[in-house]
Every structure is written in structure tokens, then in C-alpha cells.
Amino acid sequence: MALMTGEQYIESIRNIKMEVYLMGVKVDVPVDNPILRPSLNSVRMTYDLAQLPEYKGLMTATDPETGEEINRFNNIHRSADDLIKKVKMQRLLGQQTASCFQRCVGMDAFNALWSATYDTDKKHGTSYFKNFKKFLDYVKDKDLTVDGAMTDPKGDRSLAPHQQPDPDMYLHIVERRADGIVVKGAKAHQTGALNSHEMIVMPTVAMSPEDKDYAVSFAVPLDAPGLFMIIGRQSCDTRRLELGNGIDVGNAEFGGVEALVVFDNVFVPNDRIFLNGETEFAGTLVERFAGYHRQSYGGCKVGVGDVLIGAAALAADYNGASKASHIKDKLIEMTHLNETLYCCGIACSAEGRQTESGNYIIDLLLANVCKQNVTRFPYEIVRLAEDIAGGLMVTAPSGKDLFDSKLGPVVEKYLHAAPGVKTENRLRVLRLIENLALGGAAVGYRTESMHGAGSPQAQRIMISRQSDIASKKEFAKKIAGIRE
């Protein structure tokens, strides 16, 4: 099949009979819901850009097994160049949507499972690699969007999965049958689940032999019987319900949503199972997926950061403050921080290595350093953007006031700033900064920078494991002339 167009993608999602709930109400047609539609538009951009000749080779890749052109989001990384192009593609999409475009988790799950299933089969004689390749071929052929689901609710964090008073706090197998397994539990914070054709489930922590029923990975369609979603709230999400000019939304076209995805005795056939009780490989899969996903943040967050820096610079222009030296310096600092994140994403990609299974994995130390920086730098970039924007960012009247016959002239009079700048444009850019800085339906910049792809402490643990302090001690001993 040829690459899907954006419109074909929209209609393909429309045809999936998902069970979706938003604010206590079942949503019959999520594609047309005004709160949910912007998140679908963000994914659509991954299809639209893949159709453009100027992005051929960046948004697309050549499948070495078939010679066909596929969307890069469904690509297995075969070189360091593939890893670098992944980051560049993510930056481009961040620039185009100023939001989360949601397909990264699936792409990162593909590449983690490629090597993890290969290694599991090598030790246990299983057929998970064959199962996974069959599923991936299906995804590539149909040009599907796949959600990667790792995070469990976890319950009491001090207890292992098998120790939880409620066993459903970690998704687990409740029945093993001749033709497959039945699973129960939930996956939390699922970005893009609503806009995906399929979902890959993975364990969320390393496990002991006692956790055998929790060491499970598989793929299911989003309309699988027993699977349903509860959509999370975002600040200002109901602004999308307001008719009119769209000023108050900030980013009217694009967005993102998260879901709590519940598995209520969902059946998974044997040929869609990628891990089934091999507990020693649960941690392997988690580590590799986390590494790939932490690399991703060196692209997507940088692209959204580009938009925020541009919005701050526009706000300075519209406020009449762009020539002030301290404004110039703040924009320089924002750029410095943003490009540092990009450096980390490129570095961990360039230092990638080939696995025994044939695909390439990033440098895990540098990928975790990348994400550790993402837990900090966007907060400073946001702080500087808020500083440049000024207090009107959070006190401005609504778009309805601006276009009201009585109030509009008053708003125009008192909120006019730099000569030649329309008050409407000044308010639009301030609302965009508000959207990005305060998370007003952007999902993909500020708070998500902290917790996406694991907490800051998770990265520090991985940095500790990968840092090889023993070798560094030997360097110091040699230089200092120490003999022990």
C-alpha cells in the first residue's frame, strides 16, 4: 500500500469503533469532538508531511526488506543516520504543530521490541521475534499509527507487581489459553491512544520471577472487546468548545490528549504476543524503550521550543520592547538552552551502535542525559518567555470582548502597543505563549517535559548505571601516577 494521506488517516480512525469517555460522557464519534479533534490533527501532520517531496527521506524511509517507501515512524533504525533523521523529523513536526504528534511512542516501541524479542528468542527458543516482525509488516503495509503503552498505575510504589493488594495495578495475564492470553489492568498517561489504529503493550518495570504474569508484551487493536479509554482533563480544554475566533485557545488547530486505557479481560491471540512470562527480559525491554524515548525528546521538545522562542520574540516586537538589551539576551539564552537539548538528541544518535538483531540503539548514557536536561531547560525557557510576554499573557480579555461592538473599541484602545501592530495579533501571540507555558491543551511541553519517558530520578538511575565511574578512576590514577 502507498503512504496514507492525511485525509485517509482521519477517515481510517473514524471507522474504528473505540469506546471513549470524556468528562463522564461516552463520545460516539471522537474524530468530530471539538476538544479531541486538535490532537488528531497533530497526528495527521505526520501523514501530510510524508506526502511532500521536500521531506522525502526525512519523513519517509526505504524498507530494506521490500524496497518500498514507508513512513519513518514505522521504520526500524538500521544506522546512526536513521537515528539522527528521527530526531530531525521530530524537530520538524514540533515546529509545525507546537504540540505532541503522538507517534513517537509507537516508533520507539518497535525498535525496542525488535532487539528485545530477538534476544528473548535466542535464550528461550520462543517465536516472539517472528510474531513481532509479522505485526510490523502489517503496520508498514497499512501505514498505521501505533501507540506504545508502558506506564501502569503502579498502586503502592513500595511494592512489586505481584505484591500489590489489588493485582490490577499492573497489567497482567489472568488466563493462558491454547489460542492466546487474557489480560487485565490499565495503562496510564497514554498519549495518542485515541488516535491510533493499534496499541503495543509493554511492562513498565524490571521484574522478578514472582512477577511472571506481569511480564507481558503484545499488540491489540483499539477496538478490542474489553478495551476502553477515559480521556484526561487539561487546563483550558473547554475553551475549544467556544465558538468564534479561536484567539483564546492559543493553538486552535493542534493539540494532544492523554488517556487512561483500561483492559477488562482483553483477549490477545498467540501471534500477537511478544513476551509472556520471561521476567528477565522485562527490564531489558523497559531500558531500551526508555532510551529510545528519551532520545525522542531531543527532537520534539526542541521543535516546540522553536515555536515558543518565536512567539516570545513576536511578543517583544508587538510590545515595542524588541530593542531592549535584556530582551535580546533572554532570547539568546532561550536559544542556547533549546539548542543544547538538540545537541543531546543528535549526540546520542550519532553514538548509536548496532545490536545483534541488526537494528541500531542509541547511546543510553547520552539519551538519559538528554532527557535529564529536558526535565529542566524547558522550565527556564518558559520562565523567560513569560518574562518577555508580560502580565497581559494571563490577564487579557477574551476574544469575544475584542470583537464585541461595545467592548471591542475599548480593548483596542487600551491594549494597543507598538505602532502598526494589530491588537488582535498581540493577543493571539500572548495566548499561544499561555497555551505552551501553562499547558492549556498543548500536552507536550512544560509539565510533560518533567514526567514523559520516566521521572527525573529514573534517568539519574540510568546515568549512574552507564557512567562507568571505575574507568574514570583509572584515568585519574594513571595521570596522578598512583600505583596500588
Active site residues: 100, 104, 191, 258, 293, 297, 300, 448
Is the alpha carbon torsion for 432, 437, 440, 444 positive or negative? positive
Distance CA 147, CA 102 (A): 8
Residue with cell 508502558: 150
Q: Whose CA is closest to 290, among 215, 179, 365?
A: 365
Q: What is residue 35's DSSP assignment?
A: T
Q: State which H helix or E strand residue 449 sits in.
A: helix 446-451
Are the CB atoms for 455 and 204 separated by under 8 Å?
Answer: no
**What are the cell numbers at 149?**
503503552
Q: How many CA atoms lie within 13 A of 289 on its CB side?
A: 31
DSSP 406: T
Distance CA 91, CA 85 (A): 10
DSSP letters along 93-148, please? HHHHHSS----HHHHHHHHHHHHHHHHHHHHH---HHHHHHHHHHHHHHHT--EEE
